[in-house]
Amino acid sequence: MDLRALHYFVVVAEELNITRAAERLKMSQPPLSNQIKGLEEELGVLMSMEGLSGDLNISLVEGRAPYLLSRWIAGFRQEFPRVAIHLWNGSGDEVMERVQRGLADLALVATPYNAEQLDGFSVGREPWVAMMSKDHPLAAEEGQFLPLRKLVGQPLFIPSRRSRLDSIRAWFAEIEKEPTIAGALSNYIDAVAVEYALVWKRNDRQTELQQEFINYVQDCMEEERRGTQPYIMPEREYFPPEDTKYL
């Protein structure tokens, strides 16, 4: 039996809160939870903190957001199995409106967001991509990347948010051209171009449940930055080049 794991358990028991225990031990929450879980499995008993319970309402956009959120929910519910998490999906504007109206405790949105009304932090990014039929002439181009000049004159369906249109026009302005806008899309599952952020209503007092989830996500992000994340990334997960432009 690992005496360090026993020490961790004593601290968790004294604090009656795994987040405070992690702060006291000067470590992040996910590895502490893994140590406690390993001790439970070794002894064949359940010792985790299960006192936290309640409902957590999270709204999210399309694209990579469901993938990010599913990982956090899986780990969070291992620690707090009595918490029920309710998800609502929609466009970016709809999701942020739900947070502002108090219909969602937290939200996973595409940046930018209204920083005057919402607090939050970045949790992941994806590059812009051009999607087309395999029969389109541009699909026959060699390589995986298209220079922007290849899209000049092509009818483009772009995300409906004003910030996306402004960015696209700015990119075309760099080559002294104008984009040909044929229509707009409300969701990002058809046109991926985002940096994601976990947000909540500014100036509202967070419940213990909301704060625990925020702390858990922040700890997961820190573990990923250190390269010690407890999650197995899919083999075909795409990691864009360092110089890729994001919104």
Tokens of 139: 């699909």
**Looking at the whole model, is its pTM more than 0.75?**
no
Q: How many CB atoms lie within 10 A of CB 204?
A: 12
Rounded to whole angstroms, how far apart are CA atoms 110 and 118?
A: 13
| Per-residue pLDDT at 113 | 87
Confidence of residue 247 (pLDDT cuts 50, 70, 90): very low
Rounded to whole angstroms, how far apart are CA atoms 85 and 105?
A: 10
Q: How many CB atoms lie within 10 A of CB 117?
A: 13
Rounded to whole angstroms, how far apart are CA atoms 224 and 51?
A: 28
Q: What is the mean pLDDT of residues 82-110?
A: 91
Q: How many residues does the chain have?
A: 247
Residue that is last in its domain, among 154, 169, 185: 185
pLDDT more than 70, % of the chain: 83
Average model confidence (pLDDT) across the chain: 80
Residue that is last in its domain, among 167, 185, 203: 185
Contact 95, 105 (CB under 8 A): no
Rounded to whole angstroms, how far apart are CA atoms 200 and 115?
A: 10
| Per-residue pLDDT at 49 | 53
CATH at residue 214: 3.40.190.10
Together in a domain, 210 and 94: yes
Residues paired with 110 in a beta bridge: 196
DSSP assignment, residue 114? -
Together in a domain, 12 and 97: no
Strands 54-60 and 106-110: parallel
Residue 188 has pLDDT above 60, yes or no: no
Together in a domain, 179 and 78: no
Together in a domain, 111 and 149: no
